[in-house]
Structure 1
Amino acid sequence: MTAPPHTAHPAGSGRPLPDTQQGMRRRNLARVMHTVRAEGRLSRAAVASRIGLTRAAVSTLVDELIRSGLLEELGPERPGRVGRPGSALAVSASGPAGIGAEIGVDHLAVCAVDLRGRMRARAVRHGGNRGRSAGPVLEQLTGLVRRVVTEAEAEGLWPAGLAVAVPGLVARDATTVVRAPNLDWHDTDLGELLAADLPLTVDNEANFGALAELWLGDRTPRDFLHVSAEIGIGAAVVVDGRLLRGTRGFAGELGHVPVHPDGPACACGGHGCLEQYAGEEAVLRASGLTPGENRVGLLAQRATEGDERVRRALTGAGTALGIALTGAVNLLDPESVVLGGALAELAPWLLPALSEELARRTAGPACPVTVSALGPQGPLLGAAHSVVRTVLDDPAAIAERA
């Protein structure tokens, strides 16, 4: 069993719908979905007022979305409103769900998120994936996907698609992992190996982490640089609410920016890359700690307890991050830098040196650095929510399947 081909427009691509009568209908269906999702319980009249269409037009659109299982009627609106109460609408708690998956160096994770944005099922497998061939890893991931789908279906949901976050370079508009140094995977097509039987999207974990921050973060700006870490370090650039992907889809490889060109060899083939100074394993080595489970938690615990060697290692990592980020900030002029993933938990000890380097080296005013509240869950949540956004952006595609 092979998953269907990946749609040619990944999450965050913002593909415009054709400017035809059918295209206008599809856009209006999406406007209704986004409006109800953003504001919660709304009457048809309230939706019409929000999006500037007639009540009759909105009623037709709403009826179509209800028939498709995307909206549901909850009964009369809240008491206290003037006039005849309308029937309140809400995004359906059943129906389509986004399935997100993450392939990490030392874990696999899968979750299901409904159209309201709630996580309804989750499965995790801990264990090293470095040096393993892709086939067995993806077989285990398929098993987790099926487990999560079964749990979601028991709650009245059905999978609208699967999005997989990977720690490596992914070919633009494709499902091929071109290179994942920390997994030692090269030119690996997940679409050929995943037996999930769902529309498939594959993207870099940093990209999904940035999208999660954009969609779920608290007052996240529309222009920011998102930096995250597991074994390696990734980054994603968001400009005006959209990912900056680059010609081949490889933008954001901050972890392989040289900090000290004559430094130690990196898995990418270069020398002195940022990962060799600020990646988890590099910090553990500098701290004198043995890699194991919950590495970040161990570093945070030791730093909190006042372990000077650990604190020096984290200060060094913050300095290296600041040096690497300076080039990106000077080049892109983002509104802010957001630390996510493992970096979020270690931020109290990374930020002083990182901010000092940015302030000292940045050509313009110092760029503010914030810490993501999503932490290491960002890539998985971003993957699942990217499928949900696909449904919200083009509900007609679901309606046509209903």
Structure 2
Amino acid sequence: MWQCQEVSRVSSPVGAARQSSLRELNLALVLGRIAAAGRPPSRADLAAETGLTRATVSAVVDDLIGGRLVTEADPAPRTGAGRPARGLVLAGDGPAGLGLEVNVDYLAACVVDLAGRVRHHTVRRADLRPATPADALARLGDLAGRAEADARRQGLTLAGTVLGVPGLVGDGGRVRLAPNLGWRDVDVPALLRRHLPALPPVAGTPALTVENEANLAALGELDAGPDGPASFLHISGEVGIGAGIVLDGALYRGARGWSGEIGHLPIQPDGPSCRCGGRGCLEQYAGQEAILTAAGLTWADLPADTAATRLADLAAAGDPTTLGALHDAGTALGVAVASVVNLLDLDTVVLGGGYAPLAPWLVPTVRDQISRRVLTAAWSPVTVRPALLGPEAAVVGAAGSVVRRIVAEPSGWLSSRRASWMGEGR
């Protein structure tokens, strides 16, 4: 249990630093308890749970309320004597996160408030493979501007932007490789920043962060269900296939931050060529484009629907070609998943992105392959289920990661607010 001490009065520079540090810890501790509480806790509840005095808790809560991070809720009815205490909840009209996503066949923008509620969500369908990175990001900037304007109308203040991309992201947000988009060594922040609303950095965090979309989808799934598993494999099935690995409640990134490229696990070493330069990758058997081809469809057959929606409709109608395509895709996916489960000993697999609507047909086949290939399946069954957030997981996870940083380090947001007020002469 993380324990914090109260701030004591000191006058030396070392003491001042310690005082500032303890204040930051107290802010994070109290806000974290409010965020995780099943019901709105009172100041007295927080004092009892944290071990801080009521005076310290009251001062911390006043700071959080003044910074628009926390608000007071109406007290619950009380039958006993005495005045009911007012509970505390995360503010719905304070800071919010802007999430953006660029994928092979769509762009998306999302705003999530501090309490995790989606306040804006827009998706624009387009085949972005012919577009240059600059053109694609300019279009995304238009969605970002509309999202920022809508957030402002709702009284929210955007505290940062996180962009999800289907590829390998290096230092400084440079996309090293996004094979399905044809991007290589693209300085995404430089191209996108000129189209974004001007947002100040919070607690030293850049106003724009670029992250792999599958990782963000896994984080979105982690936040979506309070009673969900602490460790799981989240697979985003689009034209490309990516995975986010969550271990004990934390995203596993690997030594260089490039973990989760499940779409490039080889299913057949001498199989068809992949855009990554390899052969027989999972994407060539279970990516949306591969499933469409096996079902006898092309992108031209999807003027209004997404690929997953069209495939789900045909499968539900009993179309034998589509059912066969989904069975083969599920088999290939199950082979890859079984390898990951054997390696990492995970007990839950979540099918997200375009796989979520196709779960009724993919899940049984994936489970069958797991039961055949995972050594421990007979004693410890593996759960396979659709994602709670479905195709929206990545962009919601992107926006949510902004507010997650604020909850973890509220002092950064409060400092930026004070700097803003001083700059405005308040």
Fold match by TM threshold 0.5: yes
Q: Distance in 1 between matches of 2:337 and 2:72?
A: 49
Matched residue SS, 1:346: helix
Report how many residues are paired.
Answer: 383
Matched residue SS, 2:172: coil
2:180 pairs with 1:182: yes
Residue 144 of structure 2 is matched in structure 1 by 145
Question: Which of 331, 350, 364 is matched with 2:343 structurally?
Answer: 331
- In the TM superposition, 1:54-93 aligns within 5 A as 54-80=53-79, 82-93=81-92
Matched residue SS, 1:380: helix
Q: What's the offset of the Cα at 1:75?
A: 4.9
Name the larger-Rg structure: 2
Q: What letter is aligned with 1:107?
A: Y
1:254–1:69 Cα change, 3 Å: same
1:331–1:55 Cα change, 3 Å: same
Residue 331 of structure 2 is matched in structure 1 by 319
Q: What's the offset of the Cα at 1:249?
A: 1.0
Q: What's the offset of the Cα at 1:116?
A: 1.4
Provide Cα deviations, 1:90-123, integer angstroms capped at 9, x if missing partner. Answer: 2111121011111111111111111111111223
Matched residue SS, 1:148: helix
2:30 pairs with 1:32: yes
2:312 pairs with 1:304: no
1:79–1:193 Cα change, 3 Å: same
Residue 412 of structure 2 is matched in structure 1 by 397
Contact 2:363 2:385 in 1 (8 A): no
Q: Distance in 2 between matches of 1:223 and 1:22?
A: 35
- In the TM superposition, 1:93-112 aligns within 5 A as 93-112=92-111
Contact 2:230 2:246 in 1 (8 A): yes
Residue 357 of structure 2 is matched in structure 1 by 345
Q: What letter is aligned with 1:183?
A: L
Q: What letter is aligned with 1:391?
A: I
1:60–1:218 Cα change, 3 Å: closer
2:253 pairs with 1:238: no
Please list every run of at least 4 consecutive aligned residues from structure 1 whose deviation after the TM superposition is greater than 6 angstroms: none
Provide Cα deviations, 1:165-208, integer angstroms capped at 9, x if missing partner. Answer: 1111111x531111101111111122111122331111111101
Q: Distance in 1 between matches of 2:226 and 2:330?
A: 24
Question: Which of 225, 228, 252 is matched with 1:220 structurally?
Answer: 228
Q: Distance in 1 between matches of 2:224 and 2:114?
A: 14
Q: List alignment gaps of at least 5 residues for structure 2.
A: 1-16, 200-206, 418-426
2:276 pairs with 1:276: no
Contact 1:72 1:90 in 2 (8 A): yes
2:387 pairs with 1:376: no
Q: What's the offset of the Cα at 1:82?
A: 4.5
Q: What's the offset of the Cα at 1:270?
A: 0.4
1:306–1:156 Cα change, 3 Å: same
Contact 2:359 2:385 in 1 (8 A): no
Q: Distance in 2 between matches of 1:302 and 1:87?
A: 53
Larger mean CA deviation between 22-31 and 129-138 belongs to 22-31
Residue 202 of structure 2 is matched in structure 1 by none
Larger mean CA deviation between 28-37 and 112-121 belongs to 28-37
Q: List alignment gaps of at least 5 residues for structure 1.
A: 1-18
TM-score norm. by structure 2 comes to: 0.86
Larger mean CA deviation between 288-297 and 227-236 belongs to 288-297
Q: Distance in 2 between matches of 1:34 and 1:236?
A: 24
Contact 1:217 1:372 in 2 (8 A): no
Q: Distance in 1 between matches of 2:351 and 2:226?
A: 13
Q: What's the offset of the Cα at 1:81?
A: 5.2
Residue 261 of structure 2 is matched in structure 1 by 253
TM-score norm. by structure 1 comes to: 0.91
User: RMSD of aligned C-alpha atoms?
Assistant: 1.6
- In the TM superposition, 1:105-120 aligns within 5 A as 105-120=104-119
Provide Cα deviations, 1:189-236, integer angstroms capped at 9, x if missing partner. Answer: 221111223311111111011101111136321111111111111111
Contact 1:224 1:335 in 2 (8 A): yes
Provide Cα deviations, 1:242-276, integer angstroms capped at 9, x if missing partner. Answer: 11111211100000000001100000000000000
Residue 201 of structure 1 is matched in structure 2 by 209
Q: Distance in 1 between matches of 2:275 and 2:384?
A: 28
